[in-house]
Structure formats: C-alpha cells, structure tokens
Structure 1
C-alpha cells in the first residue's frame, strides 16, 4: 500500500480504495483494509472528518455483510446524506434483512432525507425477496404521491416481481398489461418466472403467446423459460 512507502494517503485516496473494494466485493481485502484503518490513529481520525470517506466505509461494511459494524459507524456519523442512508438500506436488502431495510428507510424519512429512484428500487427488491407485499406496494405508491418521483420501468418490473413471487399472478399480469408504457421484455419474463415458481402452466402458455406477439425478438428466452416450466409440470 502507499503507506508502506511512508506517504500518508489523503481522504480522496482512502475513499477511492474503499469504493474499489466495495465494487469488487472482495471480503478478504476489505477486512485487511478495515483493520489497517482502525489500527492507525491518524487514518481513523481522518475518516471522521469527511462524509465521502465515512460513506465509503459504511458502504464497504454494508456491502460485505458487516452490518453490525456498519450500523455502528453509520449511527456515529455526525452528518448523514442520502448516500449514507442508501448504503445501509442496500446492505440490509442485499443480505436478506428486508425488515431492517424498511426500518432504515422509515428513519431516513424522519431524518428529513429525501429518497431517490435508486432508493425505491432497493426497497422494492428487498420486499420482493422477503414477501413483504403490503410494504412494497405502499413504497411504490408513495413514490408519486409523496415524493413526486414518477415510477420508471425498473420500478414496475420490481413490483411485478414482488406480486409474482407472492403468488398474486392475476395482479402481476394486470400490472404488466396496464403499465403506462410498453412493457420491456424483462417484465414478461419476470411474470413467466413467477408462473414457474407457482406452477401456473396454463397462464405460462398464454403469456408466451403474448410475448411472441409483442416482443418477437425475445422469443428465444421465453421459449427456454417455458420449456423449463413444462419440464417441471411432469
């Protein structure tokens, strides 16, 4: 590292290295880096003076699954912004703690931070994988009603996945067919995937015809998925 050459890294260098470890998801390198920071009084003091560095540290802990330590550092921060809150929400969501992600989102609102479109995608994914249909739907509705954020295709696909995983296939299909823009192929294949989960083979056959009619360029992927559904039906 730079410090072995007795050159003290600045805050920008620390933030960049932390971000690189987060993006790579390299747990071993992350642990080594964090140990190095915490063992050096000058470096640790430096991290507490810059919100960019603090956010990078929280993000690294959260992404790598060190949620207790990440939470401790997060709550220690004197100042927090949307990046700070989103880092913890993503961490909880990524590691299967949807309730904690929702609680962090509620605290963020109370703190006065305004969520953005990425925040909502994260919450919707967390709710989808944990079966929190009511919380996810409430979150989706609040985007426009409370925050004046127009849901985009990614948000609709997340909601389709949420409904589909929970077995609400009628509602999921209705959402795909009535969303305010032409659904992307991913919306249809997400719905087909839900049919596979819940063994709704008749609906899958009908959906494949719709996929072929509306998005013929995706016929290959839909055929593969439908074939898998057929295999599971026998």
Structure 2
C-alpha cells in the first residue's frame, strides 16, 4: 500500500493522525527523506497544491517532534523540512510546539482496541473511580492494560460508539506555542459540560482516582470479568 500524506492537528503527533485517518501508522523513512526544501515542498504540493511552500517562506530544517511541519499564517506562513542530521525520526513524539501542523506520511491499516472475554467498557458515575464503578456493576477490577490504550480521541470515540452507543467531541485545540493539558487524571474520562472525550496523554492508569478541576466528569473504564 502506497503511503499518503496528511496534516496532523495542533498538538497531535503523526502516529495519532495516521491512526485517526484509518491507517496503521506513520511512514518515518519517507518523512526522513523529506530533508531538503525541494523534497518537502514537492510532497506538500502533492498533498494540497493550495498550501504555499516556497523558498521565500522556508523555515529551514528541524529535527524535533512534529517535524517536518507547516506553520499557517500565525502571523506568517512557513514550511520546515526534516533535518537529515537529527537521527531517526520518532512519529510518536508530541510536537515540540503547539502552533504548527506536523506533516505526516501514513501507511498500513489501523488496529482496534483489545478486550477480555467477559469484560466490558462502561462509563463510571460522576465522582466514581473505575474500581468502584466496575465492582458496583458486578465486574472485577478495572483493566489498566485496556484503559492504557485510550491515548487519542479516535480510540476513545470508537469505544464510545461501538460499546456504549454514545458520541463525544474531540477537545478543541487552538494554535498555541504550549498546548494546555486536556487530562490531569490517571484515567480517560468524559466531560459532561462540553461533551468531550479526554484521553490519556502519557499518564499511567490508576483505577482508584477520579479527575479534578473539569466540572462533572465520568471515567471511561474497562471492567475485567468477576473473579
């Protein structure tokens, strides 16, 4: 399957962007080959001819998370290609800055969430930990391995729609040099006030905690079968 190009969202890495678009992952070797302005500009033009990457607005080479990338007119439009001397690209790294759009190459097919026979995904009650929510519904403890999989909006919304027959919005992120955290808890959770799915952003799962500071929330829990 040939790789395809796309732009990630603000604050999003290429692994997530590719998965959310239905692909298996990021084609790092292809992105590493975009290590000159000519190569990068040609790839951008293939993706979207309306994006203006020219020698006049090239930002140069970058080798940190999110590169190569396109920076819209905030305040000036600019295009940055991959620094070929930066070593191996890691598509799982978050963008170093939140005011540019990572340029991604995607390939393969996506994965699906894991489950255990007899277990179930549930939404806990307001202020209820996942261990308590699972026990109250006749299950065993919560499944931390399954919950640790919920690291982007697409995985969260897929579980919500497939298992719980509900929908939710992605958190709204604007261009900002530093992206504010969307989740300060050790569990993925649904925020009632704005109907958003708040996925994990590197936190270890802790089934004994609940979110704080987000108003009314309900944790997304995976419950293991009863012992």
TM over 0.5: no
Q: Normalised by the size of structure 2, how large is the TM-score? A: 0.28
Q: Normalised by the size of structure 1, how large is the TM-score? A: 0.27
Larger Rg: 1
By relative contact order (CA 8 Å, sep 6+), the higher-ranking structure is 2
More strand by share: 2
